[in-house]
A and B are shown apart, each in its own frame.
Chain A
Amino acid sequence: MQKLRYLSTFGLIVLVALFLTVSDVKAEVGVTDTSILVGCSNSFSGPLVYPGTQLVNNGLKGYFGYINAQGGVNGRKILTQFYDDGYKPQNAVANSKRLVEQDKVFAILASQGTGPVMATVKYLTQNKVPLLFPFQGVPLSGQKTIFTSFTPYPNQSELVVTWLVKVKGFKRIGILYQDDKYGYTFRDPGQKMLQKFGLKWVAAESYKRGAKDLSAQVAKLRKANLDAVLLVATPPPGATFLKEAHKQGWKNTRIISSGPLTDEKYINLTGGVGEGVWGLSLWPDPVHSQDPAVVEYREIMQKYGKDRDKTPNRYSLYGYFYAKLFVEGLKRAGKNVTRESFIAALEGIKDWESGMIPPVSFSGTNHLTQNSGFMVEVQQGVFRPISGWLTLKEGTLVPLK
């Protein structure tokens, strides 16, 4: 009897121990021995459909296709799952819940649009699902599970304004902005920066999203006799502005495009009247750059991209770049990757050379990939650099690289 009791106790201990070991090696959500699943909600319809389809189909799927063709990362193929939110925040939330609860993704990668992304932040943070490199420019910091991507809009605005005042000596600066959050996150920080120099926006005009005619805004800004006007728009109205300025014979003011506007499409649409326009660029030219990393992007995107339209552009470049950064984190996290170990691996990245943007470094407190840009000028229909990479450190312009 006594023996039996010992045996059963021993058996129980063994069982518990076994259970513990099993649960110990139980893989992370979305990770199996042969695969890892990531995904996001993005725009496959609605106003941002072009950026969305390019970013996902040619960028993410293109690079992951390339990696999978080489056998994946640590023996795991990267699988993806995407849903369309049409730029609607409520759909983005529903899609994200579906990705987390039903598809059980390892992380949300490169979702798009300020509104939709912001709407999902709380849910993803509460559920400790990593939100990696969303395509939007409103600052998001202080969360362990969130890593952000390009130079935030306020920083872009401050950078451009400082460069115009300090380097170019401009005093009379105006702004044309889209009448929504995108516009305000440029207008307001820009105004604060100008005040530091004892200046202000001499003229500030706005337009409604989808506006077809900017003749009144052009006429008013022109009348303000500006040295420079900052254009915070999307490519079609940006091009309309340039055409209208050309039509009205407005020549004595330098036009500068914001980061999101500095895009080949915007120059193509103007049909040649964009010559001499300046802009803040966050990327090397995806179409013309001969930097090895950009050439490689074009080759991989052509071969593995999934969209019918494979013209190189800044959106597929974005998807490609951040897919590459994700893979870098995954490699560093090793075979037994968990969400925690992945985040730790990303935080361990120091001076990672991408060949596209200045070296990337993260830390326990810094989850921002890029905080820089360089100034360009349109010459013969192409953005040519007129400055090196710049960043702002405590209000001072600092060259990088």
Chain B
Amino acid sequence: MLLQVIFSGLATGSIYALVALGLSLIYNTTEHVNFAQGEMSMVSAFVGFTFFNMLGLSLPIAILLTLLISALLGIITERLVIRPAMRAPHFNIFIITIGVSIVMKSLSGFIWSHNDYPYPSIFPDETISIGSATIDLIGLGNIGATVLLMVILYAFFKYTRYGTAMRAVSESQNAALLMGVNVKQSFAVTWAISFVVAAVAGILMAPVVFLSTHMGIVVINGFAAAILGGWGSIPGAIIGGMLLGVIDNVAPLYLPSQIKNVVPFAVIFIVLVIRPKGIMGMERFTRV
């Protein structure tokens, strides 16, 4: 029973992890906290739904188109609402993204209605037995896809010229600018990548939590995961998300229902007391 529940927790956690990953990406380059990350997943999932359900395209093509459109939406969002406020205090940007999330949710409801819809998974809807546990391939696929995406992004930021430039932007926009880094472009690319990550999260999440305009609320779990793992750390986002998913699931197994809801937050609290920067978080030094 425990194995079953832990696996289920990892699968749910991979969704939190992807949201945390998107949050971390934007934070890494821009130091902005993006409240619309969950809604970005929701919009992308609906875009995919339009392609395969309403226009009748095959699932792989629909997903490919969705990822492309998501990148475009990322660039548009950045250009329209973030760039004008680029030099504003980070808190202002946070409020702007709350506004973006509300607009996205209302518009989506207008376009696609507020109903819940079943959503097909790219992974087969089958189960395999490992010992006493039944593992579903959708959950397994989600975990795999999340880890893969993390590795790709980690390598991109660590080893490519472009990734390094984007990290430089987050250190100091002015210094990066003086070194010849195109800061505005870095912002745009970051938003595009983050929106694509959100789209992947949306497409993986919708078969599990169903497609609806309420999906975006997962951003709260994403925040918790990002904080637990360490803000801005790519592996941290994954570890935080998975850990949160497992704790969330194992707690009700052993504790009475009145206490279980507190457990994830208690764990976050304890971790942050011991390691204020989160599990994988790095100390950021600012030279003065």
Q: Do A and B bind each other?
A: yes
Q: Which A residues contact B (CB, under 8 angstroms)?
A: 45, 47, 49-50, 53, 179, 204-208, 210, 212-213, 215-217, 219-220, 223, 235-236, 239-240, 244, 247-249, 265, 268-271, 307-309, 311
On whether A236 and B245 interact (CB within 8 A), knowing A179-B261, A205-B257, A213-B8, the answer reads no
Q: Which of B189-197, B208-216, B267-275 contacts A (4 or more CB under 8 A)?
A: B208-216
Cβ contact within 8 Å between A219 and B109? no
20 A–B contacts, CB within 8 A, in A order? A45-B109, A49-B109, A50-B113, A50-B115, A50-B212, A53-B114, A212-B209, A215-B5, A216-B5, A216-B249, A216-B252, A219-B253, A235-B116, A240-B210, A244-B8, A249-B134, A265-B115, A271-B118, A309-B115, A311-B115
| Cβ–Cβ < 8 Å partners of B250 in chain A | 216
Contact A45 B4 (CB under 8 A): no
B257–A206 CB distance below 8 A: yes
- Residues B136 and A213 in contact, CB atoms below 8 Å apart: no
In the complex, what distance in Å separates the CA atom of A247 from the CA atom of B137? 11
Contact across chains for B213 and A213 when beta carbons are under 8 A apart: no
* A216-B253, A219-B253 known; A247+B113 contact, CB < 8 A: no
CB-CB under 8 A from A240, the residues of chain B are 208-210
For B98-124 the 0/1 string (1 means CB < 8 A from A) is 000000011001100111111000000
Question: Could you tell me if B115 and A219 are in contact, using CB atoms closer than 8 angstroms?
Answer: no
| Cβ of B217 under 8 Å from chain A | yes
Q: Residue B116 contacts which of A50, A210, A215, A244 (CB distance < 8 angstroms)?
A: A50
Q: How far is the CA of A311 from the CA of B115 in the complex (A)?
A: 10
Q: Could you mark each residue 226-257 of chain B with 1 if its beta carbon is under 8 Å from any beta carbon of chain A, else 0?
A: 00000000000000000001001111110001
B116 to chain A, nearest CB (A): 5
CB of B15 within 8 A of chain A?
yes
B217 engages A210 (CB within 8 Å):
yes
Residues of A within 8 A of B113 (CB): 50, 53, 307-309
Knowing A45-B106, A213-B12, A271-B125, say if A50 contacts B249 (CB, 8 Å).
no
* Tally of chain B residues near chain A (CB < 8 A): 39
Tell whether, in the assembled complex, residue A219 and residue B5 are in contact, meaning their CB atoms are under 8 Å apart.
yes
Chain A residue contacts of B160, Cβ below 8 A: none
Which A residues touch B217, using CB under 8 A?
210
Q: Complex formed: what's the CA distance from A216 to B253 in Å?
A: 5
**Could you tell me the distance between the alpha carbons of A47 and B127 in the complex, rounded to whole angstroms?**
32
A217 to B, closest residue via Cβ: B252
Residues of B within 8 A of A212 (CB): 12, 15, 208-209, 218
Instruction: Pick the contact of A248: B134, B213, B253 (CB < 8 A).
Output: B134
CA distance A206 to B260 in the complex (A): 10
* Chain B residues in 8 Å Cβ range of A235: 116
The winner among A216, A223, A270 for most chain B CB atoms within 10 A is: A216
Question: Using Cβ atoms and an 8 Å threshold, which residues of chain B touch A50?
Answer: 113-116, 212
CA distance A204 to B116 in the complex (A): 27
Q: Which residues on the A side are within 8 Å of B212 (C-beta)?
A: 50, 236
Q: Which residues on the B side are within 8 Å of A239 (C-beta)?
A: 210
Which residue of chain A is the closest to B252 with respect to CB atoms? A216
Whether the pair B253, A220 counts as a contact (CB closer than 8 A) is yes
